[in-house]
Structure 1
Amino acid sequence: MLERRRERELVPNYSLTGDLLSFMRCGLQYRYQNGSALPPSRPVQMWFGEFIHGVMETAYRLWKSSPPAFPWPCTKTPYNANPPSNRAAHDIGVIGDVVEATLAAAGKNPRSRDLRDSAYERAERAVNEIGPQLFPLVQSAEERVIGTRPLTMPAGMKARARMYELHGIMDVLSSVTVGATGNNALCDAVRAVVPNLPSGAEIIVDYKGAARPSTNHPYWKQGDWQLQMYAWLRSKQPNAAPVVAGVLIYINELALGQAGLGELQRDVKHGRTDVKPVPGSRDDYLLRTWTPGAQIPAFSLEFRMQRAIRAVPITDPSMTAALAEFDKVVVDIESCAAREAQHGKIMAHWPAGGDDPTCDACDFRHFCPSPAAARAKPGYQPPAPDTP
C-alpha cells in the first residue's frame, strides 16, 4: 500500500549576517526591512558593508589576474555625475562604479553623499593597506558555505520545519602560507592566537564595515560567534580542511571619523579595548590630545592595522557554544513570526533593541518605541533630571 504523500515542508533559509546578526541588532528594524517575507528573499545588509565587500572581491580578482603595483589610484566619480575618462581598470573609482551599479540594480543605494564619500575613502585604504598583506594569502575568495541545523521551537509553538538552513560568504586562507609569511600584520595576529598552526588547516576572513567594538559591547561577542559559525559552515563543505582561526577586518579603523575616534578615546580611557597605543608613542600622544571637532590625527599604519585586524581561535567547544547561541536567535525569529501571524500585530511581537547608531540610520525610528529611537528623532529633548 502506498503511503500518503507528505505535505511539502518549507525549510527556512537564513543568512548569518543578513538575518541573524541583523535581528540581534534590532528585531523590529529587521522585521520592517524584510516586509512580509520571513525569512527574507534578500538579505538585509547595510549598503556600506556590501560596497566594501564588493570592492575588495573585485580588487582581489584584478590583482590575481595581473597584479598592478600598490598603491592603486582612486578617481571617484562625482556624486550624480558622469565618470571621469581615461582611468585604469584597477582604479578603485572604476571598481566602485561597477559595485555601486550592481547594488543599485538590487535597490540598494547610499543614504547620503557623506556616506558614499566615507565608503570610497575606506575602500581605498582597505585595498591599498590591507590588500598587499591579504591578497597573497587568499586561497579562495568569496567562498559560499551552507549548512542545516535542527529547529526546535518552545513548548506549545509549532515549528514551520524540522530544520533551518544557514549560509554565509567568507575568504579562506591556508595555514601553510600564513605560518610561513613574515612581516605581515594579518599573519602576526593569527599566529598570536594559534602559535602552532597545523599544516593543511584553514583560516577564514570576513570584513566588517564598522570600527572595532568595545570589549564590553554585544557586538564584540557576536563577532566571535560569527567566525565560529563560519568555521562550522566551512566544515560542512565537501573535502574541507579544519578551520583553526578566524579573522575579522574592521575597515573603519583604517580611517576613523569623529564619532569613531571619540569612542576609541573613551574605550582606551576606561579599559574597554584590547588594542591601545603604546604608552608614550606618537599614536598615544595624538589620541590623548585630540578634541572632538578637531582634525582627525594621522595615526601610524602599524597602529591602524592592529586596530583593524582581529584574530580569534577556533575550537570544537567554541563552535559548539556559538551554534547554541545562533540556534536561539533562529528560534526567536521564528517565534516572533509565529506570534505576529497569530495576533496580526508587528510592534507587539518584535523586540525593538537598537543602539544609538542603529537607530540614527533607521527609516522607522519616527514611530519606534525604543528609547534609542526616541533620541534619534529630530527635536528630541532629554528629560530633566529628578529633583530631590
Structure 2
Amino acid sequence: MLEKRRIPELVPRYSLTGDLLSFLRCGLLYRYQNGSALPPSRPVQVWFGEFIHGVMETAYRMWLEGARTFPWPCNPSSPLQPPPSGRAPHDIGSIGELVETTLSAAGKTPRSRTLRESAYQRAELAVNHVGPHLFPLIVAAEEKVIGTRELQPVAGAPMRARMYELHGIMDVLSSVSVASAAGNVIREAVRRVCTQLPPDADIIVDYKGSRRPPTAHPYWEQGGWQLQTYAWLRSRQSNTRPVAAGVLLYINELAPAADDLTTLLREMRDGGTDIVPAAGSPDAYQLNTWRPGAEVPTFSLDFRMARMIRVVPITEPSMNAAIAAFDEVVRRIESCVAQEAAHGDILRHWPAEGDEPTCDACDFRHFCPAPAQHRRPGYVPGAPNAP
C-alpha cells in the first residue's frame, strides 16, 4: 500500500544582509521591499553596497588574471554619453558600468548623479588602496554559506514552519597568508586584535558601503553579529577550517563626505568612536579646524585606512550569542508575517524603525505612520501612541 503523500513543509529562507539586517534597519520598509510586488524605485542603500561589492569582486578576478600593477585607471562614462575610447579591460569605469548593468537588470539604480559619482570615486579608492593589500590574502571569493536553525515559537500565532534557512556570501582569507604578509595593513590590523592567530584558521571579510558607525550604535553591534553568524554558518559546511576573526571594510571612510565629518566630530566629542586622529597630527588639525560648508579635507591614507578596517575576534561563545540574536530577529519577522496574515493590515504590524538617512531615501515615507523626523519616543506599531 502506498503511503499517503505528505504536504510539503515550508522552510522560510533568510538572507543575512538582505533580510535580517534589512529588517533591523526598518521593518516596514523591509516588508514593502521584500514582501510585496511593489519593488522600491530607488533602493539607494542596496544599490550602493552591491555596487561596491560587485566592483571589488570583479577587480579581484581581473587581478587573478594578471592585472597586478596598481593604480588602475577610472574613466566612467556619463549615462548620456558613450564610454571613453581606448579603455583598458581593468579600467574601473568599465568594471563599474558592467556592475551597473547587472544591478539595473534587477531594478536597482542610483537615485542621483551625485550618488553615482560618489560610488565611482569610492570604488576607485577601494580598488587602488585596498586591493593591493586584500587581493593577495584571499583564498576564496564570494563563498556561499548556508545553514538551518530551529524557528522560535511566536506567542499567540500559528507557526508556518519548524525550521528556517539562513544563507550569506563572504570572502575568505587564510591566516597563513595573513601571517606572512609583511607590510600589509589588513594583516597588521588583524594581528593587533588577534595576537595569537591560529595557523589552521581562516578569516572572513565583508564590505560595507557606509561609514564606520559609532561603537554604541546598533549598526556597530549588528556588523559584529553578521561576521559571527557568517563564521557559524561556515562551521556547518563540510571540509572548512575554523574562523578566528572577521574583517569589515567600511568603504565610505576612504572618501568621507561633509556629513560624515560633522558626525565624526560629534562622536569624538561624546567618546562614541574608537578610531580618532592622533593628537597633534595633521589629520587632527584638519579635522578640528574644519567647519561645515568648507571643502572636505583630504586626510592621510593611514588614518582613512584605520577608520575603514574593523577586526572582530570570533570564538564559540561569540558565534552562539550572535546566532541567538538573529534567531530573535527571525522570530520577530515571523510574528509580523503571522499578524499581517491574521488581520490583513501591513501598517499596524510591521515596525517603522528607520533612522533619518533610511527614511530620507525611502519611497514609502510619504504614507509612513512613523517617519524618523516625527516619531514619538516609545513608538509601537498599532499602539494608541502611534502617530
Matches within 5 A, 1:1-388: 2-36=2-36, 46-372=46-372, 374=374
Residue identity opposite 1:158 in structure 2: P
**Hey, what's the Cα distance between the residues in 1 that align with 2:105 and 2:5?**
41
Deviations 1:230-265 (A, max 9, x none): 101111111010000000000000000111111111
- Partners of 2:150 and 2:164 within 8 A in 1: yes
Residues 13, 44 of structure 1: alpha-carbon distance in 2 compared, 3 angstrom cutoff: farther
Secondary structure of the corresponding residue to residue 249 of structure 2:
strand
What is aligned with 2:381? none
Secondary structure of the corresponding residue to residue 259 of structure 1:
helix
Deviation at 1:36, TM superposition (A): 2.7
Residues 260, 45 of structure 1: alpha-carbon distance in 2 compared, 3 angstrom cutoff: closer
- Partners of 1:168 and 1:230 within 8 A in 2: yes
- Partners of 1:210 and 1:253 within 8 A in 2: yes
Residue identity opposite 1:60 in structure 2: Y
* Percent of residue pairs bearing the same amino acid type: 66
**Hey, what's the Cα distance between the residues in 1 that align with 2:184 and 2:260?**
25
What is aligned with 2:383? none
**Hey, what's the Cα distance between the residues in 2 that align with 1:248 and 1:280?**
28
Residue identity opposite 1:196 in structure 2: Q
**Hey, what's the Cα distance between the residues in 1 that align with 2:343 and 2:155?**
18
Q: What's the C-alpha RMSD, in Å, of the aligned pairs?
A: 1.6
- Partners of 2:16 and 2:226 within 8 A in 1: yes
Deviation at 1:285, TM superposition (A): 0.5
**Hey, what's the Cα distance between the residues in 2 that align with 1:19 and 1:258?**
30
**Hey, what's the Cα distance between the residues in 2 that align with 1:10 and 1:35?**
16
Secondary structure of the corresponding residue to residue 345 of structure 1:
coil
Residue identity opposite 2:207 in structure 1: Y
Deviation at 1:5, TM superposition (A): 2.5
**Hey, what's the Cα distance between the residues in 1 that align with 2:312 and 2:11?**
31
Deviation at 1:373, TM superposition (A): 5.0
The number of aligned residues is 371
Deviation at 1:2, TM superposition (A): 5.0
Deviation at 1:200, TM superposition (A): 1.8
Residue identity opposite 1:143 in structure 2: E
Residue identity opposite 1:113 in structure 2: R
**Hey, what's the Cα distance between the residues in 2 that align with 1:74 and 1:371?**
38
**Hey, what's the Cα distance between the residues in 1 that align with 2:254 and 2:263?**
15
- Partners of 2:157 and 2:339 within 8 A in 1: no
Deviation at 1:60, TM superposition (A): 0.3
What is aligned with 1:382? none
Secondary structure of the corresponding residue to residue 46 of structure 1:
helix
Deviations 1:340-384 (A, max 9, x none): 011010000000001011111111111112241549xxxxxxxxx
Deviation at 1:268, TM superposition (A): 1.2
Secondary structure of the corresponding residue to residue 172 of structure 1:
strand
Secondary structure of the corresponding residue to residue 156 of structure 1:
coil
**Hey, what's the Cα distance between the residues in 2 that align with 1:288 and 1:313?**
32
**Hey, what's the Cα distance between the residues in 2 that align with 1:302 and 1:370?**
41
What is aligned with 1:380? none
- Can you give the 5+ residue segments of structure 1 that lack an aligned partner in the other structure? 38-42, 376-388
- Partners of 1:17 and 1:45 within 8 A in 2: no
Farther-moved stretch of structure 1 (364-373 vs 227-236): 364-373
What is aligned with 1:381? none
